[in-house]
Amino acid sequence: MLKSWNQPVDIQGFDIRLLDDSQCVALTELKHYHNIKFAWDNPRQNIDEHIELLLGYIKAYKLMCYVLIGYWSTPQQDLDRVMHLWETYKIHAFAMPFNKFDEYQKDFARWCNNKIIFKSCSWEDYSNGNWQ
């Protein structure tokens, strides 16, 4: 229906684990206001297969991944997921703090979500090693 209306959409965080080829095709046929966003909440799950499926249809610069931090994860697991997305696929992560009052989570989100800061220094340099 959206395709027939030629109406742009803003995809706000779908579950990439449920993605299949037909849904990828449908995503390519729609106009998008912003980046297509998916989520990686659980650090124990490997979503590489699903990311690679999506990248078969959509360029990495058109994607963004919400990464839930501080819930089921250690600071190292948070960093590993963010860096894996960037170094492996060139997909920007957007850190979503589970506890917005936690100083580590606030600092990590500030570093990760500001592309200028993220690209100019490492997490270790930004945090002065405080959260390792």
Query: 70-109 pLDDT, tens per residue?
Result: 999 999 999 999 999 999 999 999 999 999 999 999 999 9
Q: For the chain, what are the domain ranges? A: 12-127
Residues 73, 74, 80, 85: is their CA dihedral positive or negative?
positive
Residue 95 sits at φ, ψ, to 5 deg, of -70, 130
- Tell me how far CA of residue 69 lies from CA of 112, 113, 114, in angstroms: 11, 12, 16
Query: pLDDT: is 125 or 33 the higher one?
Result: 125
The predicted structure's pLDDT at residue 81: 98
- Give which of 65, 66, 70, 75 is closest to 124, Cα–Cα: 75
Residue 49 has pLDDT above 80, yes or no: yes
Average pLDDT, the chain: 93
